[in-house]
Structure 1
């Protein structure tokens, strides 16, 4: 049956094969080596040539040499994978798997399963990819004394599981997996495996925003690829290095790498890498405001991603096109591209995929730990001459479970303490931002002027308000949440104090829609003041004429209330220009702290806190001010 399928694949490749290779094939078929290493040591220089591999596959099948057939079919599959012909590559690796099963060759079965997993991972078929790598690991674990070939396949599986952790954005766990694989690759002195793992660790560090460390790992991978003359690896490394340069605003240096690198990728026919490079060139040109050329490369990358069924790159292309449309002020197209990118991201990173991967990875780790405990138990039984077997097994199992439970508890507590520390730090930062020395000094200075001017009534009035404000801020800082009524009372006091410095020119009004009862609505403490401070000092402080701030509380739906803060200030763009020209720059950190606090609070709610900041414009594109919308969950 395997021979019949292989004939179909090889009939269209019956080109002239040199007599020397025919003799080489005959000698291999006669000797019938069974390991990948033995075959590869002879055929390594020919394995990238599809004509030779088709011939060796056909001749091996005809002579019942299924080990050689599995080797040839896998090399053909790798070749078609590298030029992004994934369906054809899958068919070849599946035939290789059947040949390996016919030969009862465990090493080639594991190798074929891993190759199938790699292809499905590249095409974002996450569940299928993990099934193949899991099956490969399960098969490998049945061999007590694995060969170097099986050990390398185990490393491929470990590396791929690391890739899946990376897909889940669990970058620290992924890095640990890659380092585990790297240690095994060092034992085998497999420089290709080391190059791949350094590249993967660099990708994780890049996602974490550690660009300098990521660049170091990419360059280390580049050195290994140079040493083994791996053209494909060199192209991948250079593309990653250029991507870091773009993020570091070294756009011209990035283009100097990307443009020749694109030619190299196209020359070897690897459309997967070529797609990524086209998108990076488009991104770099967009940063240089060469929008027409940028659009050309982004569309080319999108076309390649669609042609070769690469969902992640399709999503990335739409995201970049959305950003480009925004630069060109084509907001309708920007929204359309953004929606397309988001729909693909939802499909790729769906909760079903994530849960499936978590369940299988946990299952694998649990089974592995169980096997280790069982092995320890067996050794103990041998030392004690197999006495009290059942009792010892129960004791060791219970001890292992207790240790595992204790370890999990420690990890859980560390996570909780780290989270509590983060929340405490945020609360302290928020208190410092609201009770900063400049505010206290300026407020008291303003009250002092009333005293100097012998305006006792206003001095006492504002001093009372100031003391009440300080008391309410200190009280609220010790509480996780307070009523909306208390928060509104606090910010009204704050606005009264700040308005002194504006000569009472600020028209501040609070509106609460029916039937909202502010006494019954709970919100995180001290979250509104940073937005009002921002409106005052960045929106209204430089504005001439009428200065208004409106705070409206309304019911959005059954799950949310909405707090809208609207000012008629100069707008964010004008404020940014003015700020650049100021000698003393006032830095707004309160809003960033508030957003991070709200993100932490969201963990305790079914729905999440959300903040929108909207620039208001007239029909003539003139700035009308800024609007901040806080979506506060009620459940």
Structure 2
């Protein structure tokens, strides 16, 4: 029977079906076709429906990068109608192409689109995150196949986002990179204007010399060919005059900014313009105080107080320049009590702003991860629905159905076999992980007990300053251990950072009676190599707590890390000049670090199928050297 089924199966494989001779387009050809079709879509049907139909066509749907590009085009079509839908589709595009090597031009469009959406939604930290992704691509591959105009936009977007979150140094450097792509071939005045406007704004905040600022200002004036551009030129000019102590000239330009915003408010009243008018009056108030025109300053204060009737439009950040100006005014009028209150108000507002900024950053990143997780669930559900639809549409002949049944049966048997084998492997792996976590819990209480005992002693002897320093290092170390303990492995960089904190903790305790050195060979990439957490610290603890005893001498402990490339191993040495293990045993000091480390290395060897090594060499009165060799583990 089996021989008969096998014969039928081979026969079916020999059957050929007539297919029209044609060459399937390549991925790059499809991407170019999509780009060329952008204009045509408006003449056929709505852009959204057009691209959604394209997504259903087999020639597009079968390629993940092409699907990503089409999802991006759908997102663009939604941008002016429904920002949430645009965010869903561009996030879907990112998930499709993010982990595929190459196609930086597609990724640049997607990351920039996500940054634009986040900025329009007021999520400045999230916008900065995505814009910086585009910069990472451009810095690695500056010759990526996109127009220079687009490269300028990417750098400007990232620079503007960095200005908004206060990273002026980074913003200035990004704007300088944008300037490098300017050339006579760039015909759009808007790009020239924006490059030099942002260079002035970030350079002003960064503290660039006035000669450079003046050059940027001249360029801004040259390319200010719209009323909006002139408004920003007036503001830059006012700040430049203020910086160079030309206060009367600064006043003239601040007044032009306020006049522009007032006229704009008459045409389209909104809260943003009210805030701009308010800030403009704050600048004029500071200017009048600096010019010792206190009567003029009083009039401006009255106008600002009138504007505060619209305080439901104003943000907390809008109030900071007002109270800062008021503090200066009260100081000049010798009203020191009100001056003190105004200064405290500024501090309070700055604190509130900082806390809101930190909370906003956290919420925005959480929303990004949540959106990605939701999109994953939707994608998996869509795939499941598509499979069931395909099953319902199956209309094959009886012979093909029988053949498919045979194939399904054979496949099911193979799947069952491999599933059982995989389950067994997973069960063994989970057992190894549980063993490793158990060993880790044996080590941490030992260290915490020693530390708390020392802290108790400091407090008892009323050494409060030393106790505070010690507690500071301990809290940092404990927080680090708590964060890293959830992970099976951590980067060598994180392990060394935690070890550095531990050494500082113990130096505080022993009043710098020992030295430590951490030497990492140049070939070791600490951020790319992963090891089990708290692998080195127990031996450093043994050296300090048990090895450095007896006569006073220059106690030293050294950590040496090198990569054995030919063996694909990481070699770690912990060397001290302490009393040696024999003397430690004679004083009956018990340490579990050796036994625990040996077990951990055995688990590591079993998991990665790579030999490990663990040795201790010690000489009484001369010191101890611990040698560990473990497999190099990547992320």
Tell me if TM exceeds 0.5. Answer: no
TM-score by length of 2: 0.37
Q: Normalization by structure 1: what TM-score? A: 0.37
